[in-house]
Structure 1
Amino acid sequence: MTTNLILATDSYKQSHFLQYPPEARTISAYVEARPNPFADELIFFGLQAFLLGYLAHPVSRADIEEAEEVCAAHGVPFNRAGWDAILADHGGFLPLEISALPEGTLAPSGVPLVQVENSDPRMPWLSTWIETALLRGIWYPTTVATLSGKAKRVIHAGLVRSSDDPMGQLPFKLHDFGARGVSSAESAALGGLAHLVNFEGTDTMEAILAARRFYGAKAMPGFSIPAAEHSTMTSWGRDREEAAYANMLRQFKREGKIVAVVSDSYDLDNAVANIWGGSLKDQVLAEGGTLVVRPDSGDPVETPVRALGVLWEKFGGATNGKGYRVLDPHVRLIQGDGMNIDSIARLVDRVIESGFAIDNIAFGMGGGLLQHVNRDTLRFAMKANAMRDGNGVWHDVSKTPLTDPGKGSKAGRQAVLAENGRLVAKRLDAVPQGASLLQPVWRNGEMLKEHSLDEVRARSEAGLLG
């Protein structure tokens, strides 16, 4: 959808230019994830995509005319003078300075991630007017990156226990199948991109474009393989199930290639034991490459463990240096059905308890990765924290609701420092100049500091895995 940035906010914010004190010249506001039950730490990500995707496009005369018409009919005031000044004096770019932590930073909840101030003293209303669009641009990719990062920690721990090559295995252990389960193409792009902060396996192609457009990805940031779905297998009919599988091997499984085949359209146990491990066994071994068997139903923990046992019985393998079984390299397994943080952790434990290395299995997530999150998952909020008056004096701004102290906000412009290996929030006026990790990244339509996806990935992995 084409966005008119002036209307990319809550309706009631159109009236806020009439509500600030007359002496207000600058409003400072910050974004944080408040303490929450989902994660004590989060992977900050997505601001750069929002800045380049939205704020880098100036407001036009047509936007102003349209917004004025809509607001008049909608029943809210419209700040025509303010928007005309933005167009005339700033070329349509919003006069805002935005400071932020480096993207990919692993930050504790309760620590400011972003701080916004208007740079034109005539427009103190602008700092919080941007809240709606800015929060959308941050909470969603940060939450998906955090969820994906939690899975990365669980899988990495399993690999450390059972694999001879944990870091070599890790990048492709969680695959994103979520594109069809999200509410929009933009959600697929941003959520899929957030997953790529932690892993390299994806079927969300919009994420590839987002990585190239917003984070300077030169090399391919995510990979996939030829894979079957039920329609391509069941179209052969039940009597030709073996022929459908044989066709997959013939078409795609050549030397060094990988192909995934959903194998539970009828009877998974029969497919694994009597087709893959029986009538097609010689073809699986002769073609080279790797067959990845995919169960798509049944208990999400016990079903893949049972299938691994049958694959070992039929194809064998070797015992690695840590004493765990690794299947013949021609066969592997992926479990995507029913996967979430809890079931991934249980499956990792069961695979290891059964004597298998995590090398043998990959995991997939769909809507559970990209869609089963909301702003309250990490309790994201943007709050004003200071106001500068006409004499240049900053005044604290905050809220302290007696009915819910947990929704209280921070007073005073914020800084973030590293103390004893952990990020903490401080008042900006209490730290040396330039010491804060919140650094300007955007000013008046210009990107001041740009992060590559490689930088974000490295920063995130260092924080997650130490």
Structure 2
Amino acid sequence: MVKRSIILNTDSYKASHYLQYPQGTTHISSYIEARGGKFKQAVFFGLQMFIKEYLSKPITHDDVDEAKLIITAHGLPFNEDGWRHIVDVHQGYLPIEIQAIPEGTVIPVLNAMVQVVNTDPKCAWLTSYVETALLRAVWYPTSVATVSWHCRQVIARYMTDTCDSLDGIDFKLHDFGARGATTEEAAAIGGAAHLVNFMGTDTISAIVAARQYYNAQMAGFSIPASEHSTITAWGRDNEAQAYANMLDQFSGEGKLVAVVSDSYDLWHAIDNIWGDELKQRVENTGGTLVIRPDSGEPVAIVTETIERLMAKFGHTVNNKGYRVLPSCIRVIQGDGISQQTIEAILKAMKQAGLSADNIAFGMGGELLQKVNRDTLKFAMKASAVTIDGTMHDVYKDPITDSGKRSKKGILAVIKGSEGNFQTIRQQDLGEHKNLLQTVFKNGELVKEVSFDEVKSKALASCSTRS
């Protein structure tokens, strides 16, 4: 594991930037925003994890010694005086102030989410130095939380149309992504971001992260479930015994158990084993068996699976006029799931008269891995600089790409009377409240937020229509 030194947690070229600013530069202010991309709204999340893990621990002269050795050998100049100044004068804590909108805020893109400025005039270079680590700390969990939030929007819309209530929506999208994440830390951060919107997860690292960084006693839940090895270990001739063992071990009054059922022939498993040989046992457990198909074209597989189960176990018709399996049996689709396939599956189910109550989803790589900085076009840019006591606007405005035009000045974010967000200059605040509040200053987490507060804010912005 790479040692977590903030001095080395940067891009190589940052090491030379302290020599590139104009003489007399004392302060640089930068901001982070999502400039567009796949979604029009983003769920801001994850900054507190980074602050607690990386900024709340001081650097030492040993860290400076190590960084000097590595960076100079790497072929770059090293700001030894600057870093030793931070150790000697600031006890190793970074002299910066970070402002941010409240975590869990659902905000339109093209608004500032974070603003950073150095607090020591001798450390103007530091604001941009932390860009690499800070931007990564924001774009990844925010992108995952945003994907998950938009999935919830889709599910809520179809539940509103085809279910008697939204009961159970918190467990409609389960995190299957741990093994597909690049690192355990990524699984923890991304998994925690998903739990802002839902309560189902198989990513244990995520509940540890929510507990460690946001004081969540238990942010997510799971149930006993089989994998192919625990079924195929019994052999093809003993498939029914493998399923029966799952009921023996885990079923009961009020309990749920999920069983992957496509190891050989999904339709045989449904029609002849679950729907015949083990049918009475399933109906009499007092709990719920969740059938998991795990191969094939998701839309067609899910609808046929539910239809075949209804043919064997029956169904009721709810108040919206859609068919629902008996409570003893449900389906979870965890293969090939994305926001687009969730929508396609639920649309096909609705057209077939099947309620969304019948299905839950498991999402892996599409949730934790198939996002990148361009999913929401994240960027951190300098917007103001103070030179010889005078503050100046700074910005970029490339004629080759107007979408990369950056904002000017010290910024504030306000929410108007109609609930619309707007990023303005801080000098134009007037009577408005600035939503960019100081969360970190000179080594101290100034404003801590709980996981419940984050969830409440994000889910308050969830509608049943999108």
The answer as to 2:42 corresponding to 1:45 is no
- 8 Å CA contact 2:414, 2:432 repeated in 1: no
Matching residue of 1:197: 196
Alignment of 1:90-129 (within 5 A): 90-129=90-129
Question: Residue 450 of structure 1 aligns to a residue in which SS?
Answer: coil
Aligned-partner residue type, residue 449 of structure 1: K
- Looking at structure 2, the residues matched to 354 and 451 of structure 1 have their Cα atoms a distance apart, in angstroms, of 44
Question: Residue 221 of structure 2 aligns to a residue in which SS?
Answer: coil
- Which one of 406, 409, 418 corresponds to residue 406 of structure 2? 409
- Looking at structure 2, the residues matched to 58 and 421 of structure 1 have their Cα atoms a distance apart, in angstroms, of 40
The answer as to 2:214 corresponding to 1:215 is yes
Aligned-partner residue type, residue 361 of structure 1: I
Deviation of 1:355 (Å): 1.4
Deviation of 1:265 (Å): 0.5
C-alpha distance after superposition, 1:216-246 (max 9, x if no partner): 112x110000000011101111000000000
Deviation of 1:389 (Å): 2.6
Deviation of 1:317 (Å): 2.9
Matching residue of 1:66: 66
Q: Report which stretch shifted further, 112-121 or 456-465.
A: 456-465
Instruction: Output the TM-score relative to the length of structure 1.
Output: 0.98
Alignment gaps of 5+ in structure 2 = none
Alignment of 1:300-379 (within 5 A): 300-379=298-377
- Which one of 246, 249, 258 corresponds to residue 248 of structure 1? 246
Deviation of 1:130 (Å): 0.4
Deviation of 1:464 (Å): 2.4
- Looking at structure 2, the residues matched to 361 and 435 of structure 1 have their Cα atoms a distance apart, in angstroms, of 43
- Looking at structure 1, the residues matched to 433 and 253 of structure 2 have their Cα atoms a distance apart, in angstroms, of 54
- Looking at structure 2, the residues matched to 465 and 158 of structure 1 have their Cα atoms a distance apart, in angstroms, of 12
Q: How much is the aligned-residue C-alpha RMSD, in angstroms?
A: 1.1
- Looking at structure 1, the residues matched to 57 and 355 of structure 2 have their Cα atoms a distance apart, in angstroms, of 50
- Looking at structure 2, the residues matched to 172 and 437 of structure 1 have their Cα atoms a distance apart, in angstroms, of 31
- Looking at structure 1, the residues matched to 188 and 222 of structure 2 have their Cα atoms a distance apart, in angstroms, of 16
Matching residue of 1:465: 463
Instruction: Output the TM-score relative to the length of structure 2.
Output: 0.98
Question: Residue 128 of structure 1 aligns to a residue in which SS?
Answer: helix
Aligned-partner residue type, residue 186 of structure 2: S
Question: Residue 301 of structure 1 aligns to a residue in which SS?
Answer: helix
Matching residue of 1:180: 179
- Looking at structure 1, the residues matched to 232 and 30 of structure 2 have their Cα atoms a distance apart, in angstroms, of 56
- Looking at structure 2, the residues matched to 285 and 170 of structure 1 have their Cα atoms a distance apart, in angstroms, of 24
- 8 Å CA contact 2:56, 2:93 repeated in 1: yes
- Looking at structure 2, the residues matched to 447 and 43 of structure 1 have their Cα atoms a distance apart, in angstroms, of 21
Alignment gaps of 5+ in structure 1 = none
Deviation of 1:164 (Å): 1.3
- Looking at structure 2, the residues matched to 465 and 65 of structure 1 have their Cα atoms a distance apart, in angstroms, of 53
Deviation of 1:388 (Å): 1.6
C-alpha distance after superposition, 1:60-86 (max 9, x if no partner): 121111000001111101111111110
Deviation of 1:434 (Å): 7.1
C-alpha distance after superposition, 1:31-74 (max 9, x if no partner): 000022x0011000001111111101111121111000001111
Alignment of 1:431-450 (within 5 A): 431-432=429-430, 435-450=433-448
Question: Residue 226 of structure 2 aligns to a residue in which SS?
Answer: coil
The answer as to 2:24 corresponding to 1:23 is yes
- Looking at structure 1, the residues matched to 319 and 463 of structure 2 have their Cα atoms a distance apart, in angstroms, of 22
Matching residue of 2:428: 430
The answer as to 2:52 corresponding to 1:55 is no
Matching residue of 1:33: 34
- Looking at structure 1, the residues matched to 461 and 126 of structure 2 have their Cα atoms a distance apart, in angstroms, of 34
- Looking at structure 2, the residues matched to 299 and 17 of structure 1 have their Cα atoms a distance apart, in angstroms, of 55
Aligned-partner residue type, residue 416 of structure 1: V
Percentage of identical aligned residues: 52
Matching residue of 1:142: 142
- 8 Å CA contact 2:118, 2:127 repeated in 1: yes
Question: Residue 216 of structure 2 aligns to a residue in which SS?
Answer: coil
- Looking at structure 1, the residues matched to 62 and 216 of structure 2 have their Cα atoms a distance apart, in angstroms, of 34
Question: Residue 157 of structure 2 aligns to a residue in which SS?
Answer: helix
Matching residue of 2:386: 388
- Looking at structure 2, the residues matched to 424 and 386 of structure 1 have their Cα atoms a distance apart, in angstroms, of 19
- 8 Å CA contact 2:33, 2:111 repeated in 1: yes
The answer as to 2:286 corresponding to 1:288 is yes
- Looking at structure 2, the residues matched to 53 and 464 of structure 1 have their Cα atoms a distance apart, in angstroms, of 30
- Looking at structure 2, the residues matched to 433 and 98 of structure 1 have their Cα atoms a distance apart, in angstroms, of 22
Q: Report which stretch shifted further, 417-426 or 168-177.
A: 417-426
Question: Residue 465 of structure 1 aligns to a residue in which SS?
Answer: coil
C-alpha distance after superposition, 1:286-342 (max 9, x if no partner): 222110000001110111111101111111132212121221111000001111111
Alignment of 1:82-93 (within 5 A): 82-93=82-93
Question: Residue 122 of structure 2 aligns to a residue in which SS?
Answer: coil
Question: Residue 62 of structure 2 aligns to a residue in which SS?
Answer: helix
Matching residue of 1:165: 165
- Looking at structure 2, the residues matched to 163 and 90 of structure 1 have their Cα atoms a distance apart, in angstroms, of 58
Question: Residue 138 of structure 2 aligns to a residue in which SS?
Answer: helix
Matching residue of 1:151: 151
Deviation of 1:422 (Å): 1.2
- Which one of 397, 410, 421 corresponds to residue 394 of structure 2? 397
- Looking at structure 1, the residues matched to 334 and 434 of structure 2 have their Cα atoms a distance apart, in angstroms, of 42
Deviation of 1:212 (Å): 0.5
- 8 Å CA contact 2:154, 2:343 repeated in 1: yes
- Looking at structure 1, the residues matched to 172 and 57 of structure 2 have their Cα atoms a distance apart, in angstroms, of 37
C-alpha distance after superposition, 1:387-427 (max 9, x if no partner): 12332x31101011111111111111111111221111111
